[in-house]
Homo-oligomer: A and B are copies of this chain.
């Protein structure tokens, strides 16, 4: 057992000690992060939440402390009383590098075995080890930095929302299945055997009900749950900044959230976000970037060549055009030098997006090279080059197919080439945009019915209301996504607040009236009592912190995440439970099919 703290108290954080304290006696606490015994001197780096301070044990200063210091090992937890002195060998790499602490008293509060991972920046250790010993992993300075950023993000968001007149309201965790498309986590009920609560995929319905209640402006930093097959950067539980407002339109929500983002990036990173954000319709985003979350930090836009090659007999182009598809291309600046093999690899890459292949035109110093010259006239090729704004040294990459395939494969190729050619290297820009005018519905080929692109509560655009009857697939939604550097950061919409329109929407989605009432009856019922026009937005808090912290791993921004299999190697959850617990709940374990 370690020494007792007793009445002794820390007076300063070790990582914040500086020259202003020279000559003063202080008490610091923390962990031994390095120790060097030079015989007459023992140096020890003491680490706390704020940083590292060099502590010096000298026999002249305190024989007792000096002798005890010989026992110190890495990660011992200690308390040191001593005097701050100017350091001879200044270390400019450390904020405390001008000073050192001459120890007069040492308490070993607890000892440490050799830690199974290094407590250092940029650790390269297996993920499961990091997660099993998460409490040690979190001691590492980069994890401490991230958790501080996350904490600051919470308070910044909350104070902003509070000042804007939003009320924070907690919505239930034990609730009823909501229809966000993913699987629900279920919670068996002891009072109603055979019945289950569901953990919320989002507070969507509750925040709409709060608007019906007249709270006017609601926000919450809410835990959400999805029992999906996990992919990189997905976690079974995640956090979202959830916002809803009444008596507003799209512009009000956009304005509020641009100012929120500006505040967060300014306060946390001292970065000035430019507002208003660029806006781009879903249609334009798909056609120019092949993505509904375009990375706008670079060009390389997709352009349509269909009109230029409409007369061709080249079977690949011809059959695509005849099937209402298109021929489109991107221009890789400076790409003409790329060798045959590398271009072939790009061809393989687009095939993973169901494209049949990649045609290309190389604009070499010694002239234009392309296999297309067998099928296209010189004028046609010249027109393509002009359409693509290509110059000598460039490489035009062409896909012909159904529109969906052309856009997806070229969009993916664009991002892949940006990565490979490093055009974003050193780019520290945060490029925000709003993607607007999303389709309300999307045809699901398998289910043979429409599904909601956002969710079933999204309002159609007024100008498209008539199309609901005649051509639902063309109806645009009052929906908007906030996009940052090619990632979706948030999404929202103006909601339906009319029972009839909401029922119409459910019927388009293939719910019978009965089914709709069984699942969402409480919302339809609520809409009978003077619901206000309302809308809102939800941000991925985890993703926001990833951007703020500069990490691309969601596990880095969550204190205690699960691994890829939704398992926690530290607590070993999920785990077996006692038979009587299951008996109480009226459930049993069956064999999985």
A interface residues, Cβ below 8 angstroms from B: 1-2, 4-5, 7, 9-10, 29-32, 47-49, 75-77, 79, 109-113, 115, 134-136, 138-139, 143-144, 147-148, 150-151, 154-155, 158-159, 162, 167-177, 183-199, 205-206, 209-210, 212-216, 223, 225, 227, 236-237, 239, 246-249, 252, 462, 497-498, 500-501, 522, 526-533, 558-560, 562, 565-568, 570-577, 581-593
Contacts and interface: CB of A to CB of B under 8 A. Distances in A.
User: Which 4 pairs from chain A and chain B are nearest by CB?
Assistant: A138-B213, A112-B530, A176-B573, A77-B530
Contact of A216 (B49, B194, B559): B49
A252 B5 CA distance: 13
Nearest to A185: B187
For the complex formed by this chain, how many copies does it contain in all?
2
Contacts of A113: 528-529
B177 A135 contact: no
Contacts of A31: 214, 530
B213 A560 contact: no
Contact of A154 (B77, B135, B168): B168
Given A155-B162, A196-B575, A560 B139 contact: no
A191 B247 contact: no
A271 to B, nearest CB: 21
Given A186-B585, A588-B587, A47 B560 contact: no
A134 B209 contact: yes
A194 B560 contact: no
A223 B186 contact: no
A196 B214 CA distance: 39
B183 A227 contact: no
Contact of A172 (B32, B237, B527): B237
A31 B559 CA distance: 44
19 contacts: A1-B501, A2-B497, A4-B462, A5-B248, A9-B252, A113-B528, A115-B529, A138-B215, A144-B215, A151-B162, A155-B162, A169-B559, A170-B223, A173-B225, A173-B237, A177-B577, A185-B187, A583-B592, A583-B593
Contacts of A585: 186
Contact of A175 (B183, B501, B526, B568): B568
A176 B150 CA distance: 24
Given A9-B252, A170-B559, A587-B587, 8 more contacts: A76-B530, A173-B223, A174-B236, A176-B575, A184-B577, A184-B581, A194-B589, A587-B590
Contacts of A187: 185-187, 199, 574
B168 A48 contact: no
Nearest to A49: B216
A275 B251 CA distance: 49
B48 A214 contact: yes
Contacts of A593: 583
Contacts of A155: 158-159, 162, 168
Given A247-B29, A560-B171, A573-B175, A5 B213 contact: no
A174 B185 contact: yes
Contacts of A175: 560, 568, 571, 573
A136 B213 contact: yes
A166 to B, nearest CB: 8
Contacts of A215: 49, 138, 144, 147
Contact of A192 (B213, B247, B501, B574): B574
A108 B471 CA distance: 29
A110 B497 contact: yes
Nearest to A27: B247
Nearest to A561: B172
Given A136-B529, A588-B590, A190 B183 contact: yes
A210 B559 contact: yes
A560 B212 contact: no
A587 B589 contact: yes
A514 B497 CA distance: 58
A214 B47 contact: yes
Nearest to A565: B191
Nearest to A30: B214
A113 to B, nearest CB: 5
A138 B213 CA distance: 5
Contacts of A575: 176-177, 195-196
A350 B531 CA distance: 53
Given A177-B577, A498-B1, A172 B529 contact: no
Contact of A531 (B9, B110, B205, B565): B110
Contacts of A110: 497-498, 527, 530-533
Given A48-B216, A155-B159, A577 B136 contact: no
Given A173-B173, A176-B572, A528-B112, A214 B567 contact: no
Given A167-B147, A173-B225, A530-B31, A79 B188 contact: no
Contacts of A565: 191-192
